[in-house]
Chains A and B, each alone.
Chain A
Amino acid sequence: MKGWLGNILRVNLTDKTFRKESFSEEFAKKWIGGRGFATKILYDELKPGIDPLGPENKFIVALGPISGIPAPNTGKAVVAAKSPLTGGYGDGNMGTYVSIHLRKAGYDILIVEGKADSPTCLYIKDDEVEFLPADEIWGKGTYDSQKWLYEKFGKQVGAMTIGQGGENLVKFAIVRSLEGRAGGRPGMGAVMGSKNLKAIVVKGTKDIPVADPEKMRKDGKEGMKEAYQTDKKIGWSKQATNGVLAWCNETNTLPVRNMRKTSHPDAWKIDGQRLDEARVATYGCPNCTFHCGITIHDSEKRESELDYENIGLLGASLEIFNLQDVGSLNYLCDDYGLDTISAGDVLAFYADAIDHGATEGDFKFGDAKRAIEILGMIAKREGVGDILADGSYRAALKFGNNSLDYAMQVKGMEISAYNCKFLPGMALAFGTSPIGAHHKESWVITYEISETPREAYSQQKVDKIIELQRIRGGLFEFIVSCRFPWVELGMDLNIYTKYFKDATGIDYTLDDFWKIADRIYSLMKLFWLREDPDWDRTRDYVPEVWFDPANADKEGPIAGKILEKDKYDEMLTLFYDARGWDDRGIPTMETIKRLDLEEEAKSLPEEAKLK
């Protein structure tokens, strides 16, 4: 086997043991890597109903056949586990040198099982594994923890760590790496915390064997150069992801005031131009030639790396239009190891719930000082922070008073920074995202606004959503690479079939990749079904407030417009039909056969029968 190392490192924290296992070429060809490996392993190895924060859950780092190889933006890793936030399969894709070092240590996959009896730093050095005490950094934020790791192991390692959020089992705690990289929105940091696993450090020194080393080197180098030159020409990284904020404000898709409003006159104060002007440094992931991590000084003069999602939700959605204050909220999320998207949505939900009398409290939209305090309470699970630490869905169930209607989440995971109250296609993209609402799976807003009637609930939009799910949620998640060379710079997708062939020697077409993407999406649905045999299509619905005419914009270009539930439901049927899923949104037997998932389907309980 070339491209893949063919090895899994399985570590057990309970009894401090480890072993190297191999996987077959058939497994590699069927699941490719990253999300594909993680979904398959978690489906096979986790018993349904286990506690995501119990020792039975498994924390996985999964890489792909081009991970760690110099080619555009390949310094990414997938972290995965059963999600404590949603109860389904959960994962995240993060920039980290772990991707390079784990592969150089000889592994494509790391599986961490059990629970350590005290705070632990897992140190992997080629074939050796050490279980080191991490008491010194337990209770510390990710910046101090990272510093400690660098002092101990040097900078030539890959390292991941969690903050107080993960330690205290905040259900939207993430994993952190490097200066500003984070991943694992569905609570992957909490899964590490539940295992007393404070950090993972990897040092690999071996070569990664590929099928055609010379061609891989040449193609990879050319791709990195093309990415660099294209970015210079079109200037994307000048404002990077936050360029979109001003555009969202213009097109009435900005999340303002817990997504009750779609634009704001002060939005310019936190837009891409202001961010670029405030820039003090720029950071990025390994193997990337157009770093997008624009970093500013926050209100305490600390470096804070911001992107659109952070600013959209910790800024606009909270009606905080001061970049330094947004920087502080973002810095604290990063330091505590909290997902900025969920944190922003949860804080906005709390302010909204107080506004609507669902609960009592002293937090108001626009109050940056109190937002900072509440973030700390969430990370430490103090006072109301203990309720909010479970995410907006569970908090809404506690508060009651119909507050679930405006908890901006799908399947328990908070919605990324796009207000879809009058965007049927993007609403459906969030609704059908298989891990809960996440923009990384499919993003159709530009298409929806510029190439279709915005108000349409059409097959055309459904087809686009699926096309993008296959690329974004499929290809980039199983090949494990940053999607930005394609999505933002417009580079040809066929470079990935080329790199794949250079690395593995296997001639897959993009259509082969789409079939694998469909297989993974369908297996994720089986994972949900096995957890909840009563699964039904309402789990793919977006929050009620987006269907509520009383919540339509009162003025501006989309005044009076709101999503229509019956039409959304019809479009959901079109989506299920196109995917070969039944009216619950579960793959049909025919689809299971077409995607070679018959073995997996056997473990479904009797009452969750496939149609």
Chain B
Amino acid sequence: MKITVVFIGSLINKMRFSEKDYILPDNSTLKTIIEKLGLEDYKKNRKLILRNGKPIKEDDLLNDGDRIVISHIYSGG
């Protein structure tokens, strides 16, 4: 399946891309992609992950066409 990963904020500089498609085996979870990207510390570093604009847990299965957005935990300035 194909999923799209989008970075918002300073992670773009660290990861060196802002949007990329990934082909993943079926039964992949959010954890699969977190490990692939080396972002295990995302919570500690105040990052938030949404799928198609909605919350997602690490064990949730990904679906073909999902858009995973990884950003700073914005708090409204």
Given the known inter-chain contacts A236-B10, A238-B10, please indicate yes or no for A490 contacting B77, CB distance below 8 A: no
Nearest neighbor of B75 in chain A, beta-carbon distance: A487
**B53/A449 in contact, CB under 8 A:** yes
**A239/B53 in contact, CB under 8 A:** no
Q: Does B6 contact A (CB under 8 A)?
A: yes
Q: Please, how many angstroms separate the alpha-carbon atoms of A538 and B48 in the complex? A: 35
**A449/B54 in contact, CB under 8 A:** yes
Taking a contact as CB atoms closer than 8 A, the residue among B6, B48, B67, B77 that contacts A484 in the complex is B77
Q: Does B25 contact A (CB under 8 A)?
A: no
Nearest neighbor of B6 in chain A, beta-carbon distance: A250
**B8/A246 in contact, CB under 8 A:** yes
Q: Which of A244, A418, A484 gathers most chain B CB within 10 Å?
A: A244
**A251/B50 in contact, CB under 8 A:** yes
**B46/A449 in contact, CB under 8 A:** no
Bin chain B's interface residue count: 20 to 34
Report chain B residues within 8 Å CB of A490: 46, 73
CB distance from A128 to the nearest CB of B (A): 38
Given the known inter-chain contacts A234-B10, A235-B13, A250-B6, please indicate yes or no for A243 contacting B72, CB distance below 8 A: yes
User: What are the interface flags for B10-43 relative to A under an 8 Å C-beta threshold, 1 for contact and 0 otherwise?
Assistant: 1111100010000000000000000000000000
Q: Does A252 contact B (CB under 8 A)?
A: yes
**B9/A243 in contact, CB under 8 A:** yes
Which of A144-152, A390-398, A439-447 participates in binding chain B? A439-447
CB distance from A93 to the nearest CB of B (A): 12
Taking a contact as CB atoms closer than 8 A, the residue among A243, A250, A451, A487 that contacts B69 in the complex is A250
Question: In the complex, which residues 420-460 of chain A have their Cβ closer than 8 Å to any Cβ of chain B?
Answer: 439, 443, 445-446, 449-451, 454
Nearest neighbor of A237 in chain B, beta-carbon distance: B10
Report chain A residues within 8 Å CB of B6: 250
Report chain A residues within 8 Å CB of B75: 443, 446, 487-488
Taking a contact as CB atoms closer than 8 A, the residue among A235, A243, A309, A557 that contacts B52 in the complex is A557
Taking a contact as CB atoms closer than 8 A, the residue among B8, B55, B76 that contacts A451 in the complex is B55
Q: Does A233 contact B (CB under 8 A)?
A: yes
Q: Which of A252, A273, A439 gathers most chain B CB within 10 Å?
A: A273
**A244/B52 in contact, CB under 8 A:** no
Given the known inter-chain contacts A238-B13, A247-B8, A557-B53, please indicate yes or no for A450 contacting B48, CB distance below 8 A: yes
Q: Please, how many angstroms separate the alpha-carbon atoms of A454 and B53 in the complex? A: 10
CB distance from A282 to the nearest CB of B (A): 14
**A243/B8 in contact, CB under 8 A:** yes
Question: In the complex, which residues 51-77 of chain B have their Cβ closer than 8 Å to any Cβ of chain A?
Answer: 52-55, 67, 69, 71-77
Report chain A residues within 8 Å CB of B50: 250-251, 449-450
**B77/A273 in contact, CB under 8 A:** no
Q: Please, how many angstroms separate the alpha-carbon atoms of A234 and B48 in the complex? A: 12
Q: Does A305 contact B (CB under 8 A)?
A: no
**A273/B48 in contact, CB under 8 A:** no
Taking a contact as CB atoms closer than 8 A, the residue among A234, A244, A273, A451 that contacts B74 in the complex is A244
Q: Please, how many angstroms separate the alpha-carbon atoms of A74 and B14 in the complex? A: 31
Given the known inter-chain contacts A235-B13, A250-B53, A490-B46, please indicate yes or no for A272 contacting B74, CB distance below 8 A: no
Nearest neighbor of B67 in chain A, beta-carbon distance: A250
Q: Does A499 contact B (CB under 8 A)?
A: no
**A235/B14 in contact, CB under 8 A:** yes
**B9/A439 in contact, CB under 8 A:** no
Q: Please, how many angstroms separate the alpha-carbon atoms of A307 and B74 in the complex? A: 14
Nearest neighbor of B73 in chain A, beta-carbon distance: A446
> 15 A-B Cβ contacts within 8 A?
A236-B9, A236-B72, A241-B77, A246-B71, A247-B8, A250-B6, A250-B50, A443-B75, A445-B74, A446-B48, A450-B48, A451-B55, A487-B75, A487-B77, A488-B72
11 A-B pairs besides A250-B71, A272-B8, A489-B46 with CB distance below 8 A are A236-B72, A238-B13, A239-B9, A244-B76, A247-B69, A251-B50, A273-B12, A446-B74, A450-B50, A488-B75, A490-B46
